[in-house]
């Protein structure tokens, strides 16, 4: 997704096609230019919604995705007309018939500098933006089992064998043995789906215990990968610590 020939340098001679989407937790946008009958991506954007924004109606979230994307891509889009694709018919109708209705009206005013035509796209055809808008869904939903399952799908394949690595790790073996012999002796750890988790009293979620052998790879994945963003030490550690111990 993040390298040529998939991701391309923008060609201002071609028509830009801007695709947006929203889910219950996240909004996203993809800037494309047309190459024949196909679309070639130029840049991707996604943003986690705040607690207040998650209470917005569906068309408000979809409109927020349009506003978020347009303002992030202002340098590409402000100079000429582009085609806006969204999969919400109500929003398509609203953007074609501008009405200053509360929050939506204020957003539409912020979209005034942009010239675009709106086209409805079926949800099943809005694949890339839809995927970006659902990145965080499994990780936010309540319940440790759902969180762990979603992480396994997104991490490198080596983490699908984390159970085997825990079985060979001296620390994990000692904790598991203590849990089997006398669970009261270890009040901060538990076993969930045969995986050792850190789960102290009062914690909101379980965190996987990462075996020593996998820790350097874990840090590298959350810092160096294309989607990680090469964050600083503090942010990288916080990102890892959301789900791992």
Give me the percent of the chain exceeding a pLDDT of 90. Answer: 5
Q: Across residues 218-241, what is the average pLDDT?
A: 82
Listed by start position, the domains of the chain span 16-138, 141-241
Nearest one of 96, 86, 95 to 122, comparing CA atoms: 86
Cα(175)–Cα(15) distance, rounded to whole angstroms?
60
Lowest mean pLDDT among 18-27, 39-48, 90-99, 176-185: 90-99
The better pLDDT of the pair 26, 137 is held by: 26
Question: How far is 67 from 179, CA to CA, in rounded Å?
Answer: 51
Indicate if the pLDDT at residue 144 is higher than 60: no
pLDDT, the chain, mean: 77
Residues 6+ apart with CB under 8 A from 178: 185, 186
Please state which of the four CATH numbers 3.40.50.300, 3.40.309.10, 3.40.190.10, 3.30.420.10 is assigned to the domain occupying 16-138: 3.30.420.10
Residue ranges of E strands in 112-156:
116-120
pLDDT at site 140: 42
pLDDT of residue 172: 92
Whole-number pLDDT of residue 25: 85
Q: What is the pTM of this model?
A: 0.49
Q: What is the pLDDT of residue 148?
A: 45
Is a pLDDT exceeding 60 seen at residue 153? no
């Amino acid at each position: 997704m993040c390298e040529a020939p998939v991701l391309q340098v923008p060609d201002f001679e071609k028509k830009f096609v801007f695709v947006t989407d929203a889910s219950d937790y996240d909004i996203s946008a993809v800037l494309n230019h047309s190459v024949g009958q196909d679309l070639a991506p130029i840049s991707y954007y996604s943003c986690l919604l705040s607690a207040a924004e998650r209470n917005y109606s569906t068309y408000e979230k979809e409109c927020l995705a349009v506003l978020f994307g347009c303002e992030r891509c202002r340098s590409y889009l402000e100079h000429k007309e582009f085609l806006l694709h969204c999969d919400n018919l109500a929003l398509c109708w609203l953007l074609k018939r501008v009405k200053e209705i509360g929050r939506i009206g204020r957003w539409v005013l912020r979209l005034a500098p942009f010239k675009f035509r709106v086209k409805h796209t079926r949800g099943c055809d809005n694949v890339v933006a839809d995927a970006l808008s659902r990145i965080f869904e499994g990780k936010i939903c309540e319940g440790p089992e759902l969180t762990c399952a979603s992480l396994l799908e997104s991490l490198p394949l080596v983490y699908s064998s984390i159970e085997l690595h825990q079985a060979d790790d001296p620390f994990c073996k000692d904790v598991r043995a203590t849990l089997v012999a006398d669970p009261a002796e270890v009040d901060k750890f538990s076993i969930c789906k045969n995986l050792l988790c850190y789960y102290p009293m009062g914690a909101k979620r379980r965190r996987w215990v990462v075996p020593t052998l996998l820790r350097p790879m874990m840090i590298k994945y959350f810092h160096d990968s294309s989607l990680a963003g090469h964050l600083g030490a503090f942010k990288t550690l916080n990102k890892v610590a959301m789900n791992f111990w």
